[in-house]
Structure 1
Amino acid sequence: MVTRSEIDYEAVFRASQAPSMLLTADFVVLAVNDACLELAGRSPQDVLGRNLFDVFPPNPVAPQDAEQQGARMLRNSLEQVVTTRRRDFMPLQRYDIEAPGRPGVFEERYWSTVNTPVLGPHGEVRWIVLSSEEVTDFVRALRRSGAGGEQDSLALQLQTLNDQLRRAHREQRETTSALREAIERQRRLVSDASHDLRNPITGLLTELEVALSEPGIDLQRILRKLLRDAERLNDIVADLLDLARLDSEAHEDEQLIDLAEFVSEELDRRTPRTAVLTRLDPQVYVRASAIRLARLLGNLMTNAERHTHTKIEVVVTADPPDAVLEVLDDGPGIPPEDRERVFERRYRREEARVRDPGGSGLGLSIAREIAQEHGGRLYVAEHHSGARLVLRLPLAGERCCGEDAAERRP
């Protein structure tokens, strides 16, 4: 039995019937097999240590669309292999070869080429194996049969067909990838729903069993507990419905909104759980869905109410080209290492889980996705005491067009 250590891979490479070369990642020829040397009419000294495109330069007098496109396609394929670290099957190409011993005289040739990366220990492309099959006789036979018109029309038609097939294959891969992502989003949504709904439903069932089994129990206390669990269920369902809308890219109609007026009205609708201070600059306009923006603000306020000690501050201002909404609290704050993680679905810091064990961990994630849906961004900024969440949306209306962009605040 032959083991891997007994195989002479260099001998296998040299003996291969497919013309092949071993290139560096910048296309210098390191090795070439006998089939390639024979086909090209070159010696090892003519090839080794030289750049591939210096050894085999494009034919300067060939039809521009044929020869120059072939050289460009080969270079693009090799660069793609280096970038993607994946094998690339090239479409049929014309690439003329300079006749041996006749400088400047080129012979018309057609090739089918495969470029394969050889990876190093850290996943980098260390070498490229270029393997080609010459199909010149096949192309000429088709041309003689009448399948082609002008001299290079058949090759160009085949190249066009191959390009179309490659594009169709790429589009199919992109479609498949999008479907997989959609399926994964739906799977996460079902998982989120199952996990988040279980606790309040269990609480409801437990309280109902206790109410039915214990005579003389305080029904008012039970009903208040059931009401809290029902409210929690309502909040979770609202979160999950928002996620479903975001994942399906369903957008409500957008409208021009005065951010200060909007925030003031939304805050008036809330039952205050702590002191709320506002500093709202007028005539800061954004174009957004009022329903989505209200959901975003509500999630930021709920988060601040959960963590603040004495007060919440809400700020609206213009910082061209952005409209800025800030929600600040004087709670324990968010450490730098968690300032991105708090926007992950279902991520909850230990302090948040202690304060509100029934939370879903979806509020800030939904808020960020709504911001991104409107071309903005939501992030945690530095704050001397507590947390500072900053929403930036593109300014709309006069404030956007009539003021010069100033240096952005952090």
Structure 2
Amino acid sequence: MAEIDLSAVFDAMPVGCAVLTPGLRYVTVNRAYEGLAGLPREQLVGRPFYEVFPGGPDGQGMSEVRASLERVAETGETDIMPLQRYDIEIPGRPGAYEERYWSIRNASLRAPDGTVTALIHRAEEVTSYIRQLRETHPSDASPADRVEAVQAELFARTRELEEVNQRLHRAREEEERANAALHDALQRQQQAVADTSHDLRAPLTGLQTRLQLALTDPESDSDAILHAALHDADRLGDIVADLLELARLEAGPPVLTETVDLARLVEDELAGHDPGVALTARLEHGLRVRGSALRLARLLGNLVSNAERHAGSRVEVLLGCDDGRAVLQVVDDGPGIPAGEREAVFRRFYRRPDARGSEPEGTGLGLAIARQIADAHQGTLYVADRPSGTCMVLCLPLCAA
């Protein structure tokens, strides 16, 4: 799609539009507004609004418009004005004015901090529409009643149009969000398929190679080949099991019916570990959450196993609470995770460079599963910023007392 020149779009708009400073001086106008003002853009830019439209024959015509602009500059809120009458002097007849009616809307342009930086003034002449409406009202009505009825009807129609425009705008935003989410989901699916294919290929290739060796070389060590083939098959089983667990988690959160004592869960999980590094725990007892004990144990096990793979000599598990949430930290004294990778480690099949050579047995799915379990329990899991080592932090809402 060709790039759209937004300045050209602004200039070609069929409705008169002007951009003003909060002090009501012209910044720019489009061609339609030049026609309304009867002046070229060059003679408008920098001039005060009230100087260009001083007020008509009675000196009052634009006072309400100026008040509206000042109100928008102060509050930042859009103002849709009732029907405005502002008569235009007839060219060549000084002092003679022609009746004109206007539909006016004023809005603001804000900076990120909410400060109003500019005003958007839209003016559309509706004189012909007013004349048509007058013809539809009874001729025996007083002029004041007829004008009031016309004003009320036009204002109602303007409000209706504004509501329709807002609904269309919201629908378009929702459609764009849905399209973006669909595109993102499709990309994730394609990436997941590619990652899965890549990580399954290595053990499959190893298994195939070993079996071919056993078939083609009668003198090969069949016992060693079978053990290696079994190792490859076990690795394939681990990857498939983790993929199935991720699929179950993404299908929906677990049924949160259990009250889980976190300190006891940590003690039970650590008792089953046989680490090659020192593993210690400092736990605050009495902290309980609602959730699946089985999946929370899986989450903790994944965090501890990940820490053991990367630790230099020790891993520490800390449990405490903060602001109504249980806070579980798994800390290791390994090389740490660079700031740019701290979110990437939760992606499927992501393995840190220091793990690929020294510890190739991980499936690359452990932390992705841990993040999904945390999300399913309305919790958060992230890598904390620290000068050395790695600290994984899990936060879960505590049970109500």
Normalised to the residue count of structure 2, the TM-score between the two structures is: 0.68
1:243 to 1:187, Cα distance in 2 relative to 1, 3 A: farther
* 2:36 equivalent to 1:39: yes
Q: Tell me whether 1:295 sits opposite 2:298 in the alignment.
A: yes
Structure 1 portions without partners, runs of 5+: 1-8, 79-91, 117-125, 399-410
**Rounded Cα–Cα distance in structure 2 between residues aligned with 1:206 and 1:114:** 71
Aligned match of 1:355 in 353, 358, 378? 358
Write out per-residue CA displacement over residues 172-214 of structure 1, whole angstroms, 9 at most, x where no aligned residue: 2222222222222222221221111111111111112122222
The corresponding residue for 2:172 is 169
Q: The residue matched to 2:316 in structure 1 has which SS?
A: strand
1:388 equivalenced with 2:376 (yes/no): no
Q: Is the 8 A contact 1:314 1:327 kept in 2?
A: yes
On the 8 A contact 1:185/1:247 being kept in 2, the answer is no
Q: What's 2:113 paired with? A: none
- Corresponding residue for 1:29? 26
Instruction: Give how far 1:358 is off.
Output: 4.7
The Cα of 1:309 is off from its aligned counterpart by: 4.2
Aligned to 1:49: 46
Corresponding residue for residue 256 of structure 1: 259
Deviates more, 1:332-341 or 1:53-62: 53-62
Which residue of 2 is the match for residue 331 of structure 1?
334
Structure 1 position 217 matched with structure 2 position 220: yes
Give the structure 1 partner of residue 142 of structure 2: none
Which is higher, the Rg of structure 1 or of structure 2?
Answer: 2
1:194 alignment partner in structure 2: 197
Q: 1:328 to 1:39 in 2, by over 3 A?
A: closer
Question: Is residue 347–residue 368 contact of structure 2 (8 Å, CA) maintained in 1?
Answer: yes
- The answer on whether the counterparts of 2:87 and 2:101 sit within 8 Å (CA) in structure 1 is no
The superposition leaves residues 299-324 of structure 1 with CA deviations (integer Å, 9 ceiling, x where unpaired) of: 21221221234443322223343312
1:96 match: 84
Q: Deviations over 1:26-62 (max 9, x none)?
A: 6852344675244246787995325769978997779
Per the alignment, residue 308 of structure 1 pairs with: 311
1:370 corresponding residue in structure 2: 373
Query: What is the CA–CA distance in structure 1 between the aligned matches of 2:271 and 2:106, rounded to whole Å?
Result: 69
1:251 counterpart SS class: coil
Q: Alpha carbons of 1:22 and 1:310: their partners in 2 closer, same or farther (altered >3 Å)? A: same
2:186 counterpart (180, 183, 186): 183
Q: Does 1:110 find its partner at 2:110?
A: no
Residue pair 2:26, 2:45 contacting (<8 A) in 1 also:
yes
Aligned-pair CA distance for 1:259: 0.5
Checking the alignment, whether the CA contact within 8 Å between 1:308 and 1:331 is kept in structure 2 is: yes
- Aligned CA RMSD, in angstroms, stands at 4.7
Give the residue type in structure 1 aligned to 2:33.
C
**Which shows bigger deviation, 329-338 or 317-326?**
329-338
Report the CA distance shift for 1:166/1:143 in structure 2 as closer, same or farther (over 3 A).
farther
Q: Give 1:138 shift.
A: 4.6
Distance change (3 Å), C-alpha of 1:36 and 1:376:
same
Structure 2 unaligned runs (5+)?
1-6, 56-60, 90-94, 110-116, 138-148
What is the Cα deviation at residue 253 of structure 1? Answer: 0.9
Shift of 1:156: 2.5
On the 8 A contact 2:253/2:377 being kept in 1, the answer is no
Alpha-carbon distance in 2 for matches of 1:378, 1:71: 44
Matches of 1:241 and 1:288 in 2, distance apart? 20
Q: Secondary structure at the match of 1:109?
A: strand
- Tell me whether 1:137 sits opposite 2:140 in the alignment: no
C-alpha distance in 1 between matches for 2:31 and 2:386: 69
TM-score calculated relative to the size of structure 1 = 0.67
1:226 is matched with: 229
Alpha-carbon distance between aligned partners in 2 of 1:55 and 1:247, rounded to the nearest angstrom = 62
Per-residue displacement from partner, 1:132-174 (whole Å, max 9, x unpaired)?
764553576478669x995233333333333322222222222
Q: Does 1:206 align with 2:203?
A: no
Structure 1 pair 296/134, CA: closer, same or farther in 2 (3 Å)? farther
Does 1:278 find its partner at 2:281?
A: yes
Does structure 2 retain, via aligned residues, the 8 Å contact 1:112–1:135? no
Offset at residue 360 of structure 1 (A): 4.0
SS in 1 for 2:297: helix
CA deviation map 1:263-306 (0-9, x unaligned):
22233445555553333332111223334323321221221221
Name the aligned partner's letter for residue 96 of structure 1: Q
Describe the superposition over 1:324-351 as per-residue Cα deviations: whole angstroms up to 9, x where unpaired: 2222334344455544443444443321
CA distance in 2, matches of 1:53, 1:295: 71
- Is contact 2:101–2:125 with CA below 8 Å preserved after alignment? no
